[in-house]
Structure 1
Amino acid sequence: MEARHYAWMTLCAALVLTGCEDEQATTPDDETALQDAVAYVGRWAAEPAWCAQGGEERAITLSPSRFEGYENTCKMEASQESEDTWTAQLECSGEGMESSERIRMRLEDHEAMTLTWLDRDDAEVALMRCPLSE
């Protein structure tokens, strides 16, 4: 069985267990387990140099429930469409403004992703996973 199948089994088990506990009982270890289980979690950039930079040309950070980009942070509710594709609703705030939009994340392998902005005429961005050491 592939490693990502084990990761999904871990995610499912974590979600079942989380539903049985009080919402306030979630620990940082629970969030870490979810991050390890969701394939799109990590830092992603359109250019390799962006992985090490700050400012406007920098990597975005994805967690199971957050999308963090340049000068904005979004709450994210993602649902899986297929083995390698997720759609997500983003509720964002940044620079004193709030917005809501939808994205699709399609992993081409564990190191490449196509991010589609569904409410921006399906504009696509090719992203690469940033190394963990940066």
Structure 2
Amino acid sequence: MRRYLIPFCALALTLVLAACSENETPQTGADASDSEAMTEPSPEPAPFYVGQWAADPVWCTDQSEGFPITITAAQFEGRENICEMAEIEATPEGGATAQLTCQSEGEIIEEPITFAQAGAQIAIVWPDRGTEATLFSRCE
């Protein structure tokens, strides 16, 4: 009887441990990534000024008289220039300011720019040019 006692105890211990581990479900790679995705914050929406805009909505499709501009989170692109935007800051009124560094025809120009929401449009001002706000409509 004694010679069967040790294997019996080992078998019983193995069964008890197996039963305990069945209650714990290890996370597989897919399960782990699903639970991590649920805890990660959702990406922030793009700033209101990001998109393709035109001072005349016709320019969105017909560029014989004018052309749209494209604004990304870090660039301001016109027909003949691309400007890098830096020092982007929100204004208390809900708009944004940025510092443009533009290269056009071999020349580098730095100037500030401001964006303000104007209903479905945006108002853009180049303060160093002393201009009034120009309204731009979003191209679809």
TM-score, with structure 2 as normaliser = 0.63
Q: Stretches of 4+ moved more than 3 A in 1? A: 53-56
Q: Which residue of 2 aligns with 1:103?
A: 113
Q: Which residue of 2 aligns with 1:38?
A: 47
1:79 to 89, 94, 100: 89
Give 5+ residue unaligned stretches, structure 1.
Answer: 1-12, 15-32
| 1:40 aligned counterpart, secondary structure | coil
Residue identity over aligned pairs, in percent, reads 35
2:57 to 48, 64, 77: 48
* Higher Rg of the two aligned structures: 2
1:9-62 deviation per Cα after TM superposition (whole angstroms, max 9, x unaligned): xxxx68xxxxxxxxxxxxxxxxxx66x421110001010111124477110000
- The alignment yields a C-alpha RMSD, in angstroms, of 2.1
Give the structure with the higher percent strand. 1
1:52-105 deviation per Cα after TM superposition (whole angstroms, max 9, x unaligned): 244771100000100001200000022111353101100000111110111110
TM-score, with structure 1 as normaliser = 0.66
Question: What code does the residue aligned with 1:89 have?
Answer: Q
Give 5+ residue unaligned stretches, structure 2.
Answer: 1-40
Q: Is the 8 A contact 1:112 1:126 kept in 2?
A: yes
Looking at structure 2, the residues matched to 128 and 114 of structure 1 have their Cα atoms a distance apart, in angstroms, of: 9
The structure-2 alpha-carbon separation of the partners of 1:61 and 1:45, relative to structure 1 and needing over 3 Å to count, comes to same
Q: How many residues align?
A: 99
